[in-house]
Structures are given as structure tokens and as C-alpha cells.
A and B are shown apart, each in its own frame.
Chain A
Amino acid sequence: MSDKATYIRRLGDNTLVLSQRLSEWCGKGPALEEDMGLTNVALDLIGQTRLWLSYAAELEGAGHTEDQLAFLRDAHQFSNLLLVEQPNGNYADTLVRQFFFDVWHYFLLTGLTQSSDARIAEIALKSIKEVTYHVRRSGDLIVRLGDGTELSHRLVQQAIDQLWMYTGEMFSSDAVDLALVQAGIAPAADTLHAQWLQHVQDILSEATLQMPAVDAWMQSGGKQGKHSEHLGYLLAEMQFLQRAYPGASW
């Protein structure tokens, strides 16, 4: 598989897995507005997933469809970030995961709108309008909960401290990333990292929350298919229908 196809698969895997996670909140949100918020974000992400995975499938040229990539791969063949497969936990866990992801997603897509690959730029321009809305919403909620009650402050801070080790992977570059940056297709990781840190720091300060150390130890492996145990359970649910009734359609 070409570096470009691998890279695009990763983009699609991130939005797919996070979308599935958010969908788990459907009907269980802490308030109706939040339930609709999370599921609408999930819907945007699944739409973006289709754009990425159908492009990846085309580039791979193996005759797969976006659906086959989503429903017929096993955990080690998924290349999403470890962050997005982390369980929903309490609502602070879900929101902090979303906030970390949204800020990265926004700056990444901003970079990809300048991609030398026209199709990537086109998908990024389509997606960023949706993601801008997501990141404003999640930043807003972090401020409200961080600067809220003693309990909400404590839970958000705990979530930040627990999820922090999964943020490093967003800015680590392997050979695939480097090749795409070199080709002008993807933005450089260090630029993204600086933009991400700046915005996260701004929001956390406003929310009276502490940002963990930038040089803390970071977990990695998701992009290379080494996942936490959580992904298998997520896929078991997401892929059930196609596994039990292969080729089912309507």
C-alpha cells in the first residue's frame, strides 16, 4: 500500500472510531442537548470517514469499498490514534477526549486544505467547516466545566491527566508521515504541535485547569496497528452485523 493510501486510511480510521464511540452516547447523554450534540458530531465524522475511506480504497486499488474497510478489518489492521478508541468513561472523559481531538483535527485539516493532492484538499475544505463548529463547542464546554463546580472541575482535570499520554501520538511522525510532508501533501507535525499546545493552553487557562507537562511520557502505536484492548470491543459491536450476516445490505 502506498504511503498516501496508508495516511488517508489513518484519517478515515480516526473519524470512524471516534464516531462509533460518540454514537455509544445516543439516548444516554446527560442532557438532551448534549445527546444531540454528540450524535450530530458523530454523524459529521461518519460522513468524513466515507470520504476518506472511499479515497483510500480507490488508491489501494484492491477492489475494496469503504464499507469493507470499515466492517471487515480486525483491530490490528486499524490505524487510528489510541486517543479516539479510549472508552467514553464519564462525561468529562468524553469531552476532554473530544477537545484534544477536535483541536488537532482543526489544525490538521487547516494544513490539509493546502495539500498538493487536490482530492485531499477538497475533503479537508468540506470537513473543516464542520470541525470548526465541533472545536468551538468542545472548547466552550471545557471552560464551562473546568470553571464550573468543584466536582466538574475535579472530573475534567482527572480526565486531562489520564488522557494526556495519548496526545503525543498525534504529533509523532513515522516514515509515512515524513514522506507525505516531504511531498507537500500533509502539514508538518511540529507546526501542528505548536498550534495545538497554544490553543489547548489558552482554553485550559481560561477553564482554570492545569495542563500536564509537555515532555511527559507518551503512549503510541495506534497508527501502526498496536491498539489498546478497548478497540476490539468497539469493533465487535460496530462490525457485528457484517460478521454475522456477511454481505447483508438494504
Chain B
Amino acid sequence: MNAGTSLRDQQVSPQPFPDQLKKQIWGWLQLVPDPEIPVISVIDLGIVRDVQVSVAADQEVLCTIVITPTYSGCPAMNVISQEIVAVLKQHGVSRVAIHTELSPAWSTDWMSEHGKNQLKNYGIAPPAQRVIDISGISRKHFLAPEVACPHCGSMHTICLSQFGSTSCKSLYQCKDCLEPFDYFKAH
């Protein structure tokens, strides 16, 4: 993932570059799906933090994509980096550096409304509340969120398992339509 960092060092002083290209790059990245949840793009998930474009001495375009991990152990991050590089190469940007930043820490608040709708249509309940409350750990802090069933909309749901198929989800079941479903935890 750090293989491209040296590109940053090669950058000459960033020249003003057409915003057009940056916009295009954001658009291309909109087509890079999360490898675990392919209906949501890395943009809608909020993990692409910045796109930087500059021109090297040989006039070639250098592109640095700043990403942030969802969970610190998320095994999808390497694949996401590779996919971003591949998509930009397809569009002729061959010198791409992926730079990972931890701060500010990723939050489900950064997920776009479009992304939340995509999740719901896919059968995953989107985060039902704002970021996880890290201010305390007494039991009163731990009220399970009220999650709407993505299939029938009922609020009559229960948490079956605090962890689901990936770090970012837990497993719920609807007591009305009886369907089990994944819930994307607020984080």
C-alpha cells in the first residue's frame, strides 16, 4: 500500500491543475465498489478523503488518493487501494500514490445519503444513529439502537449477534417479516 508514497517526494511544486481532472477522478472513484459490500462505492462509504493532482518534471500527471480505514483491521483496505490504482490506470493516470491517513478517524457519519439508500436496497440496514458514543462504558451507554428492517420497514427488530459477516456489521432479525438482516453499525 505504501509502494507509491515515493511519488509524493518526486512532486515538483504543485502547479494549478484543471479542477476538471480532479472532478473526473472523483467521478471515476464513484465506480470503485467496496469489495465486501459491492453496492456501495468507496466515495459513498466516506473512505476517500482527498484527491491531489500535480504534474511531475516530465509533465506526467501524478495523483495521490488519500484514504482512511473504516476499522483498523479491515482486510478490504489493500484490495480497495489496488482497485483505485487499477481504475485510474484505465483512465490513463498511471502514476498513482495511495496515502493512508488515520486522523480524523473514519465515521459512518461520512456515509452519503445515496450510499445509505444503496445499502438499504441491498438488504443491509444503514446506521440508525450517529457515531458510536465513546464517552462512557456504563451499561446505560449501551442501549441497542432501534433498527428498521430493510425489507418491510418494521421497527420490531432484535439484535441476534453483535458481530456479523464483517467488522462493520451486526446481525439482526425482523420480528414481523422474520427475515434476518445485516445492520451497518454506527461507528
Which segment, of A45-53, A89-97, A170-178, A214-222, faces chain B?
Answer: A45-53
Q: Are B162's CB and A199's CB within 8 A?
A: no
Q: Are A32's CB and B73's CB within 8 A?
A: no
Which segment, of B9-17, B32-40, B135-143, B149-157, faces chain A?
Answer: B135-143
B99 → chain A closest CB, angstroms: 14
B101-137: contact bitstring with A at CB < 8 Å (1 yes, 0 no)? 0111101000000000000000000000001111001
A44-B72, A47-B69, A129-B187 as given contacts; A36 in contact with B137, CB under 8 Å: no
SS of B interface (majority) = loop
Pick the contact of A47 from B71, B171, B185, B187 — CB < 8 Å? B71
A36-B163, A37-B162, A140-B142 as given contacts; A44 in contact with B73, CB under 8 Å: yes
Beyond A47-B72, A123-B102, A132-B133, 11 extra complex contacts between A and B, CB < 8 Å:
A36-B165, A43-B167, A125-B105, A132-B137, A136-B137, A136-B142, A137-B162, A139-B137, A139-B142, A140-B139, A202-B138
B82 at the binding interface (Cβ < 8 Å):
no
A64 → chain B closest CB, angstroms: 15
Categorize the interface residue count of chain A.
35 or more
* Chain A residues with CB below 8 A from B178, complex form: none
A33-B171, A106-B137, A129-B134 as given contacts; A122 in contact with B103, CB under 8 Å: yes
B112 → chain A closest CB, angstroms: 20
A127 at the binding interface (Cβ < 8 Å):
yes
Closest to A31 in B: B161
Pick the contact of B102 from A126, A135, A203 — CB < 8 Å? A126
B160 at the binding interface (Cβ < 8 Å):
yes
